[in-house]
Copies of this chain bind each other. A is one copy, B any other.
């Protein structure tokens, strides 16, 4: 029987192994039997998968003959990826301080394809349940970060990246292109973007741009938290701090603007 694969050419066992990694990322710790159940394969198959992953330090088991979790090999790989994007490295201390002062979760995003890509996150002191966004992509039109990134684009690029239909997430999501363009213009004047309930009900976010040495916007920094904490009254104050943080990161990247 030919591999009833998804898209023509994918290796079954590798696909399963990588799924194991994602499962472990999601659940923290899993046993061979649990993994087998989730993958719908035999125990022995699951075992051989994790054994191979273990050989590369991507997973490790808690105390010989125990459950499995993600291993340090992952950190090695991550180190190699972030080495190139020194944006994360340089922004880290600034993000930390911002998260400390504001008490909310701080994120850094960059433009990747047609979406905003989260490349770093620092949990705020007040964060209850922290969802890790790092590595995830979010539509540009529904987030404060996205609007900041859009504000940095030329007219034509803006049109390109907003060409599709603007997906609705909540009833506050901006789905009209003219409305979006107006908001983005405002962001450009004001220097920061706000999104309230636009991606998720109850979530308020404020973002500001990060510029590189030559003045082009390379990313955005944001603080976000529940609407009952970041009330409309607080927005200007938080925005000022986020903008200052964005400026600080820009300065660390060699930017010398005003």
Contacts and interface: CB of A to CB of B under 8 A. Distances in A.
B84 A28 contact: yes
A13 interface: yes
Contacts of A53: 14, 18
Interface string A128-148: 001010111100000000000
Count of identical protomers in the assembly: 2
Contact of A18 (B52, B80, B82, B136): B52
A84 B72 CA distance: 12
Contacts of A48: 9-11
Main secondary structure of the interface of A (DSSP, over half): helix
A38 interface: no
A77 B76 contact: no
A69 B112 CA distance: 14
Given A55-B15, A56-B22, A89-B123, A80 B84 contact: no
Contacts of A89: 122-123
A251 interface: no
A215 B92 CA distance: 28
A81 B92 contact: no
